[in-house]
Structure 1
Amino acid sequence: MTLRIWLALFVLALSTFNIVTTELAPIGLLTPMAEALQTTESYVGMTVSFYAWVGALSALMASVFLGAVGKKNLLIVLTLVLVISNGLAASAETFTSLMTARVIGAIAHGAFWSIIGVSAASIVPANYIGRATSIVFGGVSVASVFGVPISNYIGIHIGWRSAFLAMSVLSVVSLIGIACLVPRINEKSSVGIAAIKAVFKSNSLIKVYFATILTISAHFTAFTYIEPMLNSLVHVSGDVIPMLLLVFGLAGIAGNFITAVLIDNHLKTIAVVSVLFAASMLTLIGQFHLQWSQAHIGLALVIWGATASCIFVALQTWVLRLASEQTFSASALYVAFFNLAIGIGASLGAWLVASYNVSFLYIFAGVAMALSLVFITIVPVKSENNQLAEDV
């Protein structure tokens, strides 16, 4: 583990921060974007779900066609596409032009996520894979800390277009960092439909994918509408909402630190405990948030944010452990299911808000997340000799 490798991991973490902020930025900007584009908050929310669906398809295409492409060059190209996408989003004058910009970014998003885990694992020794993925996917949590809340702040005080412009500039910084610091990645992966079929022969990976769909759909059903939920609180003023989002994200970073220390030896325990706590918090928020004080909702967001971060890293690391020689295809499929779940969650959230209310939405999300334990508790952990774990 040289200094350059550590710096490369942090550059990749910056890239995940940027691409997650790009994906989720509308969550913190629903109101100003809806007003500017003369549409509804639910329509703007659909830019998140549609982005996720396109990203899922992009990840599948990447798993079929891009396995043999040099990973470093591919990361550079995909980051450049993200620069263009955010620039177009910042200049969008209609909902259609905004959606077009988002689709362009989603194409890069899916392919990016399909290779980022493999890239991180390929540049570190085998015994550092868990720590490397924790660092790289820490960008997801940091995006919740500085991405969504700062986007919300910029949207309120400067304008939502400036938020997308800032993400475009940050994409340029990521591009330069990848070009200068990330070493050449020689790992080549199987491509084509045969590689996908090989992944689906593992019952263990299939169980992880089912758990992913349930947990991520549940999380984003709730998280996509966190701003309207916070706005509905009687005992919390609107000025405090960016701070609560910041608290949520800081808890996510703390969760990443915890995961980095424990994940290599306690992967399943982290996954089970995190799902239990996250599901409990979502259910409690749905049941009691209207009566809660600022301290109560803050504590719930801390627990939810920390455990959600642990879930993200644990599931990705689990896939890398189980995949053996099919890491690229398995990771790409994981990304496809992850993004499909985001789309399901955002769309389901829109329907639940329109048909019922925010309280019912959060209770529903908590129950759905708890159901993932049916799969998580029966998945084995990869053995020490790097062979695919035997299914029990």
Structure 2
Amino acid sequence: MPIAVYMLGLLIFAMTTSEFMVGGMMPQLAEEFDVSIADIGYLISAYAAGMVIGGPLVTIGLLKVSRKKALMTLALSFLVGQTLGALATSYEMMMVARIITGIASAAGFAVSIAICVNLVEPHIRGRASSIVLGGLMVATVIGLPLATLISQQVGWRASFWTVVILVFISTLVVQWVVPTLPKPESISLRNEFTAFKNLKLWAAFTTSGFIIGATFAAFSYFTPIFTEITGFSASMVPIITTVYGAATVIGNMITGRLADKFTMQTLFVGLLLLAASLFLFALFAHNPIVTIIAVIVLGFVGVPMNPAMATRVMRTANTGTLVNAIHGSIISLGIVMGSAIGGLAINAGFGLISTLWVGFALAALGLLSLIPFMREIIHFPPAKHPTIRKVV
């Protein structure tokens, strides 16, 4: 595996840490800008909106630029946004900073995947994608807790500056190790948009949205479920979420290995386990043992389905940057969908457990979206017989 693939993963790690970090410093930011916690929550929504809407638009604008140059432009734009956040003296200034970083992150994510799959042979694209996407998983295990710790000990601005430094270093390394790929002649708006006429591509997008939506319907409300329903102490929450994060990293490694040969089978089994774990979690959330098991399974088969999702999309359409950008927007939309529907269920008076039932329903819909492709799912590629090399 080229070292450049790992460095792209490092850049994604740095950017994704910025996405998650606000959630760990809400009280400090609310006090700094004299606003409510809910207002700080809108900073997270602004980042997501930038990813969903702005990411694809910026990607379209960069289609005529070589992918490496596009990635460097996006990384520098992200640095501008993150620096603006570190220097923010008002809530409005921070809001602008989050929108800029959200847009740059989404487009950078798409371009990184497009570069990644062109650095390796087709039969290991799923594995390579899992390494780049692994940056997202590691951000939940290391990036978010570290940013939260820094903000608690030194201040929230120190966390923002830490990400600035990390993105700057990552950008320099990527500039150094990633080769300049020739711009494919086929890149044009017409060719990129042609891929979206494929109904199978939209079916793949739909499955991806349900997988992520089901996962985040539960993940978004982990803390109150753990403390108010299961009965864990507040001090246990970071430990449990770290276990969850470790499970996502391991799950991502496993899925990356399986995604190339068993794409549809991986998605089907993953969704089946996701639905089953959410179902049992909802029924037995008061039981600490069941809760821990459910959290670990959710870690294995939720977000780590990303490599299989990306491989399916690339095989269905192409490895185009715009396709990857729209897929990234669908994933971001899934995050918003899962957490928003879960919140609506709570506000409707159904309680915290309802978020788990929402997750189960979305996972079930994901399984239903795979029914038209059952023939692909039950077909396993024939085993390859080892070849005998002639020794000369």
Band of TM-score, shorter chain = 0.7 to 0.9
Query: 1:1-392 alignment to 2 at 5 Å?
Result: 5=2, 7-188=3-184, 189-192=186-189, 194-232=190-228, 235-289=231-285, 291-293=286-288, 295-324=289-318, 327-356=320-349, 357-379=351-373, 380=376
Shift in CA distance, 378/139, structure 1 to aligned 2, threshold 3 Å? farther
CA deviation after TM superposition for structure 1 residue 264, in Å: 1.5
Tell me if the contact between 2:256 and 2:308 (Cα under 8 Å) persists in the aligned partners: no
Shift in CA distance, 358/148, structure 1 to aligned 2, threshold 3 Å? farther
CA deviation after TM superposition for structure 1 residue 22, in Å: 1.5
Tell me if the contact between 2:126 and 2:310 (Cα under 8 Å) persists in the aligned partners: no
Q: Whole-Å Cα distance in 1 between the matches of residues 7 and 243 of structure 2?
A: 24
Q: Whole-Å Cα distance in 2 between the matches of residues 124 and 328 of structure 1?
A: 16
Aligned to 2:390: none
Question: Which amino acid letter does the alignment assign opposite residue 138 of structure 2?
Answer: V
Secondary structure in structure 2 of the residue aligned to 1:200: helix
TM-score by length of 2: 0.87
Question: Which amino acid letter does the alignment assign opposite residue 168 of structure 1?
Answer: V
How large is the RMSD of aligned CA atoms in angstroms? 2.6
Tell me if the contact between 1:282 and 1:362 (Cα under 8 Å) persists in the aligned partners: yes
Shift in CA distance, 350/212, structure 1 to aligned 2, threshold 3 Å? same
Q: Whole-Å Cα distance in 2 between the matches of residues 48 and 375 of structure 1?
A: 29
Tell me if the contact between 2:51 and 2:332 (Cα under 8 Å) persists in the aligned partners: yes
Tell me if the contact between 1:251 and 1:305 (Cα under 8 Å) persists in the aligned partners: yes
Secondary structure in structure 1 of the residue aligned to 2:18: helix
Q: Whole-Å Cα distance in 1 between the matches of residues 267 and 298 of structure 2?
A: 13
Tell me if the contact between 1:27 and 1:227 (Cα under 8 Å) persists in the aligned partners: no
TM-score by length of 1: 0.87
Q: Percent identity?
A: 26
Question: Which amino acid letter does the alignment assign opposite residue 132 of structure 1?
Answer: A
Aligned to 2:389: none
Question: Which amino acid letter does the alignment assign opposite residue 200 of structure 1?
Answer: F
Shift in CA distance, 200/244, structure 1 to aligned 2, threshold 3 Å? same
CA deviation after TM superposition for structure 1 residue 110, in Å: 2.0
Question: Which amino acid letter does the alignment assign opposite residue 311 of structure 2?
Answer: T
Q: Whole-Å Cα distance in 2 between the matches of residues 359 and 35 of structure 1?
A: 31
Structure 1 runs (4+) deviating above 6 angstroms are: 381-384
Paired residues, number: 376
CA deviation after TM superposition for structure 1 residue 338, in Å: 1.9
- In structure 2, runs of 5+ residues without a counterpart are 382-392
Query: Which structure carries more relative contact order (alpha carbon 8 Å, separation 6+)?
Result: 1
Rg larger in structure: 2
Q: Whole-Å Cα distance in 2 between the matches of residues 167 and 242 of structure 1?
A: 21
**1:345-368 deviation per Cα after TM superposition (whole angstroms, max 9, x unaligned):** 344344444444322122212211
- In structure 1, runs of 5+ residues without a counterpart are 385-392
Tell me if the contact between 1:62 and 1:332 (Cα under 8 Å) persists in the aligned partners: no
CA deviation after TM superposition for structure 1 residue 17, in Å: 1.2
